[in-house]
């Protein structure tokens, strides 16, 4: 296998060029923590049909090493460790090594200082915990992992690399009161509701960095919240962030066959709002998610085709909608059924977003109240858009 140091230097130069390594202290930790020591022998890649296939280090060590030092996320576990796809393939990715630019971007926003006590939620491979240990010292880092197998692997990786934080197997939604209070909390999983335990276990003036998303789309935003003496936490969304959901807040997989019914009774119409905007325009999708409580699913009859159907589903009310995207057209076919007209709600959300000047997701913010209530705001905590 090729010496990792050359690949590591290339990654460091790339991270510096894209602005992810702004602090010399984190640059030193990047060099002191070889990423490949935290990547398992087998990683998983999407074979193009929605299923994941294993790629082993022993099959192609140089390719594996290049993947370790690429600025890409690497799938390290599928189906909670028990591949559920056909012929040993993976169906749902359940753990990954985050892309390095996201890792160091989040650490930048965490704004860690010497000697600070840090709680990490989501140990996974242990790489992020090792970086934190390098920065603030092993004794100041507590990392929690709900998956016992991942926790054991992360602990072994950390020890092999010479780092010894407190590794706890447990539900990160509960934080870890045994080591509180913390100066900083960082989550490597996404949430719809920030667990109030994280706020309660953070010192006033402390910072929580967590990926946050809506029910509509798991591709959400990175929230940087500052804890106040009154027990609230508030702050801006500082950029896009897509992570797997905290296991305590996972939703069941979308099932179009289960939730779409009575298609012959659906109301058919046409729309000028492109389903591509509603599904793939980052800022529009985020705004829709703030205002429309529904799930979305992209269906393709041909994985290579640009055509797709955007399904909107609300199993609670039995409502669904389908909007067909065909490239090169200006009008798109829509079907809706149920007491909620979900596509109409999406159109209304887009009209609001357009009327508000098409705000980027970084103009929004989040406040977690002392009672656990969440408020999403635009530009200022005084301009609340919704409570959740």
**Rg of the chain's alpha carbons, rounded to an integer?**
22
Q: Write the pLDDT tens digit of every residue in 305-347.
A: 899 999 999 999 999 999 999 999 999 999 999 999 999 999 9
Tally of CB atoms within 10 A around 205: 10
Q: Are residues 52 and 197 in the same domain?
A: yes
Residue 315: alpha-carbon gap to chain centroid: 24
Out of 214, 247, 280, a domain closes at: 247
Query: Mind telling me the catalytic residues?
Result: 98
The answer as to whether 164 is a domain residue is yes
222 found inside a domain? yes
Q: 120 pLDDT exceeds 70?
A: yes
Average pLDDT of the chain to the nearest whole number: 94
**Same domain for 234 and 281?**
no
pTM here is 0.92
pLDDT digits (tens, 9 = 90+) for 270-290: 999 999 999 999 999 999 999
Cβ(369)–Cβ(310) below 8 Å: no
> Which residue spans within the chain are E strands per DSSP?
42-46, 52-56, 74-78, 93-97, 118-121, 141-145, 166-169, 182-187, 202-212, 219-227, 233-242, 267-271, 295-299, 308-314, 319-325, 332-337, 364-368, 374-378, 384-387
- Residue pair 77/150 in contact (Cβ under 8 Å)? The answer is yes
Of the three residues 224, 247, 270, the one that is the final residue of a domain is 247
Domain C-terminal end among 247, 266, 291: 247
Q: With 70 as the cut, is the pLDDT of residue 38 above it? A: yes
Which domain range does residue 102 map to? 4-247
Assess contact for 213 and 159: CB atoms under 8 A: no
Any domain includes 383: no
Question: Within this chain, do residues 270 and 234 fall inside the same structural domain, yes or no?
Answer: no
Indicate whether 1 pLDDT > 60: no
Q: What is the mean pLDDT of residues 85-107?
A: 91
- Read off the CATH number of the domain in which 263 is found: 3.30.160
Residues 116 and 208 in one domain: yes
**Residue bearing the bigger pLDDT, 295 or 218:** 295
Q: Which is more confidently placed, 42 or 71? A: 71
Indicate whether 348 and 237 sit together in one domain: no
Tell me if 207 is assigned to some domain. yes
Mean pLDDT value across residues 4-33: 96
Average pLDDT over residues 92-108: 92
Same domain, 319 and 185: no
Query: Which of 324, 326, 327, 294 lies closest to 312 in space, CA to CA?
Result: 294
Secondary structure of residue 43 in the 3-state scheme:
strand
**10, 78: one domain:** yes
Asked if the model's pLDDT at residue 368 lies above 80, the reply is: yes
- Tell me the pLDDT band of 388, cut-offs 50, 70 and 90: low
Q: What is the CATH number of the domain that holds 149?
A: 3.40.50.150
pLDDT at 163 over 90: yes
Of 243, 266, 234, nearest in space to 192 by CA: 243
**Domain membership flag for residue 371:** no
Task: Evaluate whether residue 378 is within a structural domain.
Answer: no
Same domain as 184, residue 159: yes
pLDDT exceeds cutoff 60 at 161: yes
Domain count across the chain: 2
The pLDDT, as a whole number, for residue 60 is 86
Contact 190, 243 (CB under 8 A): yes
Q: Report if residue 372 sits inside a domain.
A: no
Burial class (CB in 10 A: 0-12, 13-18, 19+), 231: middle
Q: Are residues 223 and 85 in the same domain?
A: yes
Percent of the chain with pLDDT over 70: 99
Question: What is the reported pLDDT for 145?
Answer: 97
Structural domain includes residue 374: no
d(CA 3, CA 9): 11
pLDDT at 50: 78
Shared domain for 121 and 166, answered yes or no, is yes
Per-residue pLDDT reduced to its tens digit, 179-212: 999 999 999 999 999 999 999 999 999 999 999 9
What is the per-residue pLDDT for 219? 80
Predicted confidence at residue 59, as pLDDT, reads 85
Q: Which of 297, 334, 292 is nearest to 317 (CA)?
A: 292
């Amino acid at each position: 296998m090729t010496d990792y140091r050359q690949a590591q230097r290339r990654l460091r130069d790339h991270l510096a060029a894209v602005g992810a390594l702004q602090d010399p202290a984190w640059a030193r930790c990047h060099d002191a923590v070889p990423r490949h020591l935290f990547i398992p022998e087998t990683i998983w890649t999407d074979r193009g049909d929605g299923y994941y296939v294993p790629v082993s280090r022993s099959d192609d060590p140089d390719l594996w090493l290049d993947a370790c030092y690429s600025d890409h996320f690497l799938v390290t576990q599928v189906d909670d460790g028990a591949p559920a796809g056909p012929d040993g393939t993976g169906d749902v990715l359940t753990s990954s090594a985050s892309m390095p630019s996201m890792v160091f971007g989040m650490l930048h926003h965490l704004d860690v200082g010497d000697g600070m006590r840090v709680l990490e939620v989501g140990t996974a491979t242990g790489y992020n915990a090792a970086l934190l240990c390098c920065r603030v010292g092993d004794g100041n880092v507590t990392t929690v992992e709900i998956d016992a197998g991942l926790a054991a692997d992360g602990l072994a990786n950390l020890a092999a690399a010479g780092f010894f934080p407190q590794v706890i197997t447990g539900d990160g939604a509960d934080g870890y009161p045994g080591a509180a209070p913390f100066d900083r909390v960082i989550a490597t999983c996404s949430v719809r509701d920030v667990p109030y335990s994280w706020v309660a276990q953070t010192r006033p003036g402390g910072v929580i960095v967590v990926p946050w998303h809506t029910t509509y789309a798991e591709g959400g935003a990175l929230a940087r919240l500052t804890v106040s003496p009154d027990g609230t936490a508030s702050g801006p969304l500082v950029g896009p962030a897509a992570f797997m959901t905290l296991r305590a807040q996972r939703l069941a997989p979308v099932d179009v066959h289960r939730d779409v019914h009575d298609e012959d009774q659906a109301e058919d119409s046409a729309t000028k709002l492109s389903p591509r905007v509603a599904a793939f325009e980052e800022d529009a999708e985020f705004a829709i998610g703030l205002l429309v409580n529904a799930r979305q699913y992209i269906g393709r009859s041909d994985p290579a085709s640009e055509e797709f159907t955007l399904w909107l589903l609300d199993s609670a009310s039995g409502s669904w909608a389908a909007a067909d995207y065909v490239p090169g057209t200006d009008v798109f076919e829509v079907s809706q059924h149920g007491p909620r007209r979900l596509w109409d709600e999406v159109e209304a959300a887009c009209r609001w977003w357009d009327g508000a000047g098409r705000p980027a997701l970084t103009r929004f913010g989040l406040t977690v109240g002392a009672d656990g209530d969440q408020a999403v705001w635009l530009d200022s905590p005084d301009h609340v858009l919704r409570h959740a």
